[in-house]
Each structure stands twice: as C-alpha cells, then as structure tokens.
Amino acid sequence: MNDKNQKIIKAAIPYIVIILVSLLSELFLFNYKHWQTIGYKGSNPEVHFYGISKDNDVYTVDDGDRYLEITDINGYLKNALIEIVDIDKEEYDDSSYINVGFEATDEGHSLYYGLYSRKITHKEPRSYYVTFHLYGKAKNLKIKTDVQPGQRLRIKIMTNVKVPIFFYWERWLFVMVMLLCLYALRPASKLHKIEYAALNRNRVLSLVFGVFIINAIAFLWITKLNGFYQYEPQINHEQYQKLAEAFTQGSLSILDEPTPELVDMENPYDMAQRSADVGEGNYYFDYAYFNGKYYVYFGVVPAVLIYLPYYLFNGEHIHNHTVCYIGILILLAAILMLFDVIIRKYYKKCGIGVWLLTFELTIIGSFLIYIAKRPDLYAVPIIFGLDFALLSMNCFIRSERKDGSLNNTLITLGSLSAALIAGCRPQLFLFFILDLIIVRKFAFSKKYLLSSGGRKSILAVGIPMVVIAAALMLYNFKRFGSPFDFGAYYNLTFNDMRNRGNVWDRVPLGIVAYLLRPLELSPEYPFFKNLQLSSVYMGQTIQEDTYGGLFMASPFSLLGFLSLIYSKQLKQKKTLWLLSISSMIIALVVIVFDIENAGIVGRYFFDFSLLFMLAAVYTVYSVLDIYGNRALLFRTIVLALLGLIVFQVLYQTQIFMLDAGDLLKNDRQDLFLHYYYLFEFGL
C-alpha cells in the first residue's frame, strides 16, 4: 500500500467511526426500549369492552360511556401494546389520532388513579407501545378514549410485549450530520487553515453556491410544510393581491366596499364596539380603514415589484408563500455577498471553517426559520425590507475603489435599495446609518463633498432617495392626507391605534420579552413552553406567545457586546467596531419602536435579530483578525462557535412545531406526532 492510499485511509477513519457511532446510537441508544424488553414474551389479556361492540374483528363505538378494562392482572405490568385505529380514516387521513387515557389499580392503590394520556396514530406504530410504572403488581387497567359513536375501530391489546426496533432515518441522519460537521469544523481542522479570500474565483463561487443551494432547499421545505399558508386562507392575507387589482383599476384603495354598518360607526377602530355593531366577519380585519374606504397599510414596494407585475402578466395572483420564498432566497444571497466583501476587506485571514460557522449561526439565530414556517402577508414586508437593507450595504461596502475613489453606480444602486426599505418596513430604514458608516470618510469629509467627485456622489445618493421618497409621500398623501402617514394607525385590529399613544411604561416589558426572557423547559417534546409575560402595566398591550428572549434563544447574539467591553482593543478594526456598536443601537431603537407601535409579536423578532447576529459576526471577525495568531484564543473561539451552533440547532429543532398563531403542531398533526415519537424514544 503506497503512502497516498495510507493517507486516504487515515483521513477516512474518523468519518467511518462517526457513521458507525451514529448508527449504533440509533440502534442501541434511541432504541434502548427494544433491548430492555427483549426478554418479554407478551400475553393476551382478557379485555372487557364497554360501549363498544364487536363484529368480525371490527369494533363499533356505541352511545354512552365507552372504555376498555383489563381486570385481575395480578402481576407486574411493565408495558402494553395498545393499538386502537379508526379504520375509516386509516387509508386517507395521515393526521388522525386517538387520545387514549389510562387509569390503574395496583398494590399501592385500591381505587383507580389517573395516568398520563397518549396520542395513538396509525402513522406511528411506535405510539402503540406504552411503558407503565405502577406501584408493585397491577390489579386492573382502564383504557379510555375520545372515540365517538359510530366510529369503526381496529383494536389489539397485549401486555408485557417486546418493543420492536424503530429505525428513524431522520434521527440517524441528524446525529450523523451533526457529528460529521462538528468533526470537520473542529479547531484543528484544515478548513480553518484554508483562507476564504485566498481561494480562486471558481472555488469561491462553487463553495458559496453550494452553501446557498443547501440552505435554499431547506427553506423551500420549511415554507411548504404548513398547508394553512399555501393559500390565502383569510381575507386579511389577501391584501397585496387586492392592492394589485386596485392598481390595475387606477385606485389606491381596494375595490371592495365596506358595509354600511361599518361606515356608520362613530369609532370603527374600537374592536369590541365594531364586533357588536358590525359583527365578526362583516368587515375586513387588519385592513386600514379611512374615510369609508379600505386601504393596505403594509409597505407598497412588494406590491409594485412583484404582486402587480405577476397579476398583469398571468391574470392570476401569486401566493404569499411564493413571494416570501423569493425574499428568503434574496436574503440568503445578500448575506453571503456581505460576508464575502467583509472578509475580503476587513478579515482576509478568515478560514472557510469560521466563515461557514458564522454564516449558519447568523441564519439560524436570525428568526428566519420562524418567518419561513409562516410565509404569509405579514412576513413579506419584513423580508423585503431586510433584503433591500442588505443589498444596500453590499453596494456601499463595495463602492470604494482600490484607488480610493467611489463607484457612483454602486452608490446609486445602494441608495435606491436603501430608499426602497421605507416602502417595505419604514423602521428598517435605520439600516441606512450603517451605509453611512461604511463610507464615512467620504460622507463626512467636507473636502470630498465639495469636490467634483463628491458632488457626483451626493447626486448618486440623493436622486434615488428623493424620487422614492417623493413617490411614497405622494402615495401617502393621496390616501390619508399626509405625506408621512403610512396608514398603520387606521388598521382594524385589536386596538385603536390612533389613541394608543407612546407610553414608556410598555418598554421594560417588551425589552424583557424580546431580549431577556429565559427559556422555560418542559419534560415533554417539544421540551420548551410558549411564554406569556404578566406585568402590572395598567393598559392594553398586544402580546403573542414567545419562546424566550433573543439573548437566551440565540446566545451568539451576545458576542456583539464584546465590542463594548473590549472597545479599546477592538477599535483597531474601526469599521467593524462601528458597525457592531451601531447595529446593536439600531436594533434597540427598532425594538422600542415595535413595542410602542404594536407590542410583543413573534415575527417582529426578525426586525432586529439579524442586526444582533451581524454585530456578533463583526466582533468575532475583529477579534480573530487582531488576535487570531494566538492558538489558545482561536481554539476557544472556534469551540464556542461550535457549542453555540449545537445549542441553536437543538433549540430550533425543538420549537420547530411551535409558533405564535397557526402552529405546525396543530396544522400538521402527522408531522408533530412523527417528531414526538422520534424525540420521545423513552416512552
């Protein structure tokens, strides 16, 4: 065997070991119930049926009380096979399940006492196997279900049975990929020695395109999961489609007219009174209502750039989930381009290992997964606001030529992108401050601004800004009589936004919810609980369920604060230091704006979380560029990044089924129960 083959074998051994370890974990660790019960013989107890009649192995549910009972067990009941299946739903309804509750008597209880219930589904045979922990020998077992009269069932009951091996390929693949990634990205990995900026153009394109495609496929799967969002299920989700129709008719208000009852109301923004006078479903929820017309108060830019052209060209409407996915693809590309230029300009020694870790930490921690799970109307303006913000940063950061001059074509494109932010999500226009920081030596130089090149740059920035601002202001004025009124205060939602006011007492509660609230664990999958904050605030504030503050759910975001703690040292990388500090300040301003103008809303995490993630990236790159030659420090940082990504991946996999509205847990019971039994392998 030559040296080359020996090297190949030596390099392959760790990966082979990882594959074997993951396989053995699946077979022995996650299937330990099989090995624990391998000696069980199984028995067929006598089962008494109440309210359930049998005909040729088919059980039909009757009226009255209905349950199953096993009596006179008089032995140890370790587990049972409880197979109760609705025959009529078995063939076509993958989401169907039966709630099964248990009561028992044993040596410690002469009267029945309750045990936990279980959801049993024909799609998950693992759900049939129930482990019991009774007091000594069992006497009787009562099995209650939520079946209804007329249901036809298939029932099989056995006790003390051997649990089969249930091989979940996703679980095996997840463990294997995680271990492979951790090994490939360990501090001693060669991936950290290959400098991203030193790669030739074709290799960089291949690397970036590969990462983009993997993420794009993952997010396509996520956006397609929840059937509730594959169409526009409610009238409030159709706003961009209705606005596109209105534009084709030369109208700024949508074409549908409000009911006379709504028009006659003294205060249509009072939800309780509106529900009483008009009735639920008799008005367009969450539309802006002004002077007897319905308007769309969400940013108009997505309607003009996507919804209207699609409608004109195809004669039918594009779905919101498709638009969201387009926006997600742009966002992924924009972040990859931003990382590319930041590394080339400010951290040329960055290895592809650190590049990949920081990119994935940014994506996973930014709440983009949360947005992708519910790709609806409300996600569209936020996604595209961030798209234009990042495209603008890309243009500005690439605008400085090697000779020290500015590329005004890129400045114009960057200014146009920044201006379009205001037509999507106005509060995100604060991103433009980061653009000014990037070109600060030009923007704040009197000498440059008075020069010929400076005057051209002023025009390059000013013309797109003025044109877009004028268009938006005219659009607002034509609708609401004020160039600065986007119409949000006229929305028909849960509170009267016109009289809501700005109350600073709301801010502490919002800061805690958005940033500081600890995670609350649960012993049952998905192992985290949704949180509602209670407070002594004597007023109304909108609050959705959340799953911990950003700093707790995505602790990578905390690394940005190193720019404050070690500001003296990190100022050596002045631009990255300023971007980090400014990003966090802008994020805090956006948070306060959202708290005051809306409340605590799950999707609003996406408004500011990306800013904190990028601040952390700037800080990590600064530290590694300045001190990266110190082996211990580099090793510590890489290990920290690996630990953070493991935590964030595990966190996201657990809360994946949860949301602040139409939960995947409810809308995809088949998927939820699949993952429930995948993770609850000890049941």
Compute the average pLDDT of residues 500-516: 88
User: Tokens 């919810």, residue?
Assistant: 513
The distance between the two most distant Cα atoms of the chain, rounded to a whole number of Å, is: 98
Rounded-to-integer distance, Cα 510 and Cα 549, Å = 10
DSSP-assigned letters across all residues of 267-299? -TT-HHHHHHHT-TTSS-TTSEEETTEEE--S-
Helices and strands of the chain, counted as H and E runs: 28, 15
What's the pLDDT tens digit per position in 39-83?
999 999 999 999 999 888 899 999 888 899 999 999 999 999 999
DSSP-assigned letters across all residues of 417-444? HHHHHHTT-GGGGGGHHHHHHHTHHHHT
Nearest to 507 by CA among 541, 465, 534: 541
Quote the tokens at residue 138: 């069992």
DSSP-assigned letters across all residues of 536-573? ---S--EE--BSS-HHHH-GGGGGGGHHHHTHHHHTTS
What's the pLDDT tens digit per position in 203-260?
999 999 999 999 999 999 999 988 888 888 789 999 999 999 999 999 999 999 999 9
- Per-residue buried b or exposed e for 275-311, using 16+ beta carbons within 10 Å of the residue's own CB: eebbeeeebbebbbbbeebbbbbbbbbbbbebbbebb
Domains for the chain: give ranges and CATH numbers.
47-159 (2.60.120), 185-194+334-370+499-683 (no CATH), 232-314 (no CATH), 378-483 (no CATH)
Kindly give the residue spans of alpha helices, DSSP state H, lying in 423-549: 432-438, 440-443, 446-450, 452-480, 506-511
Quote the tokens at residue 155: 């029932």
pLDDT of residue 506: 87
> Which residues lie below 8 Å from residue 129, measured CB to CB, with a gap of 6+?
33, 79, 80, 81, 82, 161, 163, 683
Rounded-to-integer distance, Cα 128 and Cα 80, Å = 8
**Model confidence at 660, in pLDDT bands (50, 70, 90)?**
low
pLDDT of residue 350: 95
User: Tokens 């028995």, residue?
Assistant: 43
β partners of residue 130: 80
Nearest to 389 by CA among 587, 135, 93: 587
What's the pLDDT tens digit per position in 248-297?
999 999 999 999 999 999 899 998 899 888 887 889 999 999 999 999 99
Rounded to the nearest integer, the mean pLDDT of the chain is 92
Rounded-to-integer distance, Cα 559 and Cα 576, Å = 13
Quote the tokens at residue 674: 């699949």
Compute the average pLDDT of residues 369-374: 93
Q: What pTM value is reported for the model?
A: 0.93
User: For the purposes of burial, counting CB atoms within 10 Å of the CB of 258, is it exposed (0-12), middle (13-18) or buried (19 or more)?
Assistant: buried
pLDDT of residue 245: 96
Rounded-to-integer distance, Cα 596 and Cα 16, Å = 55
Kindly give the residue spans of alpha helices, DSSP state H, lying in 25-143: 32-36, 87-90
